[in-house]
Amino acid sequence: MMPGKLAKTAGFLIYAAILLILVPRLIDSYERWDLYYTLTSVALLSIASAGVWLTFFIGRINIGQAAYALIGGYVSAVMVVDHGISFWWTLPAAGLFCAVVSVFVGLPILRLRGVYFAMVTLVFTEVAKMVALALPITHGASGIVNIPLPGALEIFGFTLIPDFNTLDNSRRGFYFLSVVLMLICFLGMYRLVHSRMGRLCFSLQQNEELASSIGVNISYLRIVAYAISSFLGGIGGAIFAAISQSVYPSSFAVADSINFMLNCFLGGLGYVFGPMLGTFVLYFGWDWLFQTGKYQLLIFSSILIALMLVLPNGLLSIRLPGWKKNG
């Protein structure tokens, strides 16, 4: 094994250990219980943002992720509430359903580029909301409420995940769930980007015509990337529905789509871990400015503007000088 790879693996393991062992310890000892939820939010939002990042990676500005988060939330909620299926089965189902939807949506619209794709996906967010308001299966305007907490996940009588109702702190349960999923997600993204598939995606971002002329099936690759992206959106949405135990047509809105995109920008479009950092900074930046009262938005946006002026290529680009970027 190459030393670089070893260092990266070690780094990842340390990071995982911090998130899964150290952070909960600190939270428990300082009794900052509210951080469980905020960190869970960050983890889930960064999963959805990772999806958006992947579409950026194939050269598409995606402002439609909230639509998939919403669909994912509804798929899980409908299955749990109306059909009594265990949350743990609805979670992958929500992701897969979104992936399937994204194939049908993506086939026509992925031919669009630039602002056109961006706008169509933005419109798609609105469409998802309106469909949720109009359909009977989503219970229309009144949303789905009173969703039970996830039950136990048992395989062959062996309890993999305990019933969340029995946990003395279900927030901690959701925290572990979300952080583990986030780690898996970003590990997967890292693999993907650094595998040949990542290179192919990158080639799409660079020049679709040339990619096509060297024999890359660009429409297929685009669909695959978009489906993965939507899958991640659906997963994020489904867990949010479980945490809030409710889902409404407005649970994920255009503002969320825009935030997902901003997370990617802020972290840096050239970096796999950009969306994670971007989400963290945006979310906590906002939270932290909570104390400034009515000037919160003013200060927040001023900082964003200043950041753009200083680091137009994202936070992670701080390392750019003398450091060869490779995805």
Partner 1 sequence: MEQAIVNGLYLGSQYALIALGLTLIFALMNVLNFAHGQLYVLGGFITYVVYGQLGLPFVLALVATAVTLALVGAAIEKFLFRPVIRRSVREESTMLLAAAIAFFLDAVILLLFGEKQRGVPKIMDGLLNWDFRIVMPYDRILIGVLSIFIIVGFILYMQYSKPGRAMRALAQDRVAAQLMGVRVDRYSMIGFALGAMLAGVVGGLLVTITGVNSGIGGPISIKAFMMVMIGGAGVISGAIAGGFILGMMESVGLFYLSSYGDITYLIIFASLMVFLAIRPQGLMGKPWG
Partner 2 sequence: MSNKFPLLRKAATVVALSLGLTGLASAQNPVLKIGFVGVTSGPAAAWGISNQRSMETRAAWINETGGFEIDGKKYDIEIVSFDDQKDPKRAIAGMEKMAQEGINYVVGPNVDDGAAAVRPVAEKNGIMYFPYAFPKSLYTAPASNAVLGMVANYQSGPAIYKYLMEEKGVKKVAFIAANESDPLSQRDGGVAAAKALGLEVVADKDTYQNDTRDFVPVLTPVLRARPDLLVLSGVAPGNAPLLIRAARELGYTGLISTETAQDAQVLQEGAGELANGFISVGGASTPEIRTAAMEEFIDRYTKMFGEYNDESNTKVYALEYILETIKANPASMADVEEFKKTMDTFEAKNIYMKGDATLKYVGSTSFGQKRQVSVPMVVNEYMDGEFRTLFIAEVD
Partner 3 sequence: MADVLTIDKLTRRFGGLYAVNNVSFNVAENEILSVIGPNGAGKSTLFKLIASFLRPTSGEVCFKGERISGLAPHIVARKGVVRTFQETTIFRNMSVRENVIIAHHLQSRATLFGYFMGSRNARQDEQSFGESADDILQLLNLDHVANELASNLPHGNLRALGIAIGLATNATVLLLDEPFAGMNHEETMRTVQMVQGVRDRGVTVLLVEHDMAAVMKISDRIVVLNFGEKIAEGTAAEIQHDERVIEAYLGIEDESIGL
Instruction: By CB under 8 A, name the binding residues for partner 2.
Output: 32-34, 36-38, 41, 130, 133, 140-143, 145-146, 149, 170-171, 240, 243-246, 248-251, 253, 255-256, 287, 290, 293-294, 296-297
Please answer whether residues 252 and 94 qualify as being in contact, where contact means their C-beta atoms are separated by less than 8 angstroms. Answer: no
Q: Which two tokens stand for residue 67?
A: 């639509």
Query: C-beta of 73: minimal distance to partner 1 in Å?
Result: 19
CB of 56 or CB of 240, closer to partner 2: 240
- CA–CA gap between residue 168 and residue 161 (Å, rounded): 14
In the chain, % helix, strand, coil (3-state, to 5) comes to: 75, 5, 25
Nearest in space to 263 (alpha carbons), one of 309, 214, 315: 315
* Strand extents, DSSP E, the chain: 153-155, 158-161
Please state the separation of Cα 16 from the chain's center in Å.
Answer: 18
Give the contacts of 207 (CB within 8 A, at least 6 positions apart).
none
Q: How far apart are CA 107 and CA 229, in angstroms?
A: 14
124 is a contact residue toward partner 1 (CB under 8 A):
yes
Q: Residue 295, interface with partner 1 (CB under 8 A)?
A: yes
Residues 296-325 that bind partner 1 (CB under 8 A): 297-298, 300-302, 304-305, 308-309, 312-314, 317
Complex with partner 2: residue 245 or 313, whichever CB lies closer: 245
x/- letters, 252..271, toward partner 1 (CB under 8 A): --xx--x--xx--xx--xx-
In sequence order, which ranges of 195-217 are alpha helices (DSSP H)?
196-206, 208-213
Please tell me the distance from the alpha carbon of residue 276 to that of residue 263, in angstroms, as a whole number: 8
Question: Do residues 235 and 156 make contact, with C-beta atoms less than 8 angstroms apart?
Answer: no
List binders of partner 1 among 187-226 (CB under 8 A). none
Is the Cβ of residue 128 or residue 193 nearer to partner 3 in the bound state? 193
Q: Which of partner 2, partner 3, partner 1, none lies near 203, with the C-beta cut-off 5 to 8 A by kind?
A: partner 3
Two tokens at 127? 């469409």
Residues that bind partner 3 (CB under 8 A): 188, 191-192, 195-197, 199-200, 202-203, 206-207, 209-210, 212-219, 221, 224
47 interacts with partner 1 by CB under 8 A:
no
Q: Which of 52, 109, 276, 315 binds partner 1 (CB under 8 A)?
A: 109
Is residue 61 a contact residue for partner 1 (CB under 8 A)?
Answer: yes
Determine contact, residues 230/53, Cβ cutoff 8 Å. no
Nearest to partner 2 of 205, 296 (CB atom): 296
| Phi, psi (rounded to 5 degrees) for 81 | -80, -50
Size of interface with partner 1, in residues (CB under 8 A): 46
Q: How far lies 147's CA from each of 76, 180, 245, 283, 314, in Å? A: 10, 23, 5, 26, 38
Closest Cα to residue 275, out of 34, 65, 25? 65
137 binds partner 1 (CB under 8 A): no
Partner from partner 1, partner 3, partner 2, none contacting 47, C-beta within 5 to 8 A by type:
none
By CB under 8 A, name the one of 22, 116, 145, 318 that touches partner 1. Answer: 116
- Told to check if 122 binds partner 1 by CB under 8 A, we report yes
Does position 118 interact with partner 1 (CB under 8 A)? The reply is: yes
As measured in angstroms, the least distance from the Cβ of 216 to partner 3 is 5
Two tokens at 308?
């753009």
Q: Quote the least distance from Cβ 219 to partner 3, whole Å.
A: 8
Report the interface residues with partner 1, using CB under 8 A: 56, 61, 108-109, 111-116, 118-120, 122-124, 126-127, 130-131, 133-134, 254-255, 258, 261-262, 265-266, 269-270, 294-295, 297-298, 300-302, 304-305, 308-309, 312-314, 317
